[in-house]
Amino acid sequence: MQATLTAIAIGTLAALGYAVSCAVWPFARCWVCDGKAHHTPKGNTRISRPCRWCKATGRRLRLGRRVWNRIRVAHHNGTR
């Protein structure tokens, strides 16, 4: 019983910590271009293209923030 409560408490704290970090830092470095806003296709080092995943910003919206935005918009629109 004690181990279960401890596991629940640790999981809750981890979820709250992630939620706070998504609120404070909503953007993360793009995983495709590594934050450089351009990437080179595999096997070719001469061609550099704007990253389509981050739209050449080098930043992407984190998953937790994306979920929060969807919940907020749904609440604003009055849908579930």
What is the rounded distance in angstroms from the CA atom of residue 48 to the CA atom of residue 79? 43
pLDDT digits (tens, 9 = 90+) for 25-79: 999 999 888 888 888 777 777 788 898 889 889 999 999 999 999 999 999 998 7
Put residue 15 in one of left, alpha, beta given phi > 0 → left and psi -120 to 50 → alpha: alpha
Put residue 49 in one of left, alpha, beta given phi > 0 → left and psi -120 to 50 → alpha: beta
pLDDT digits (tens, 9 = 90+) for 6-30: 999 999 999 999 999 999 999 999 9
Q: How many other C-beta atoms are found inside a 10 Å radius of the C-beta of residue 40?
A: 13
Whether this prediction's pTM lies above 0.75 is answered by no
Beta bridge partners of 50: 38
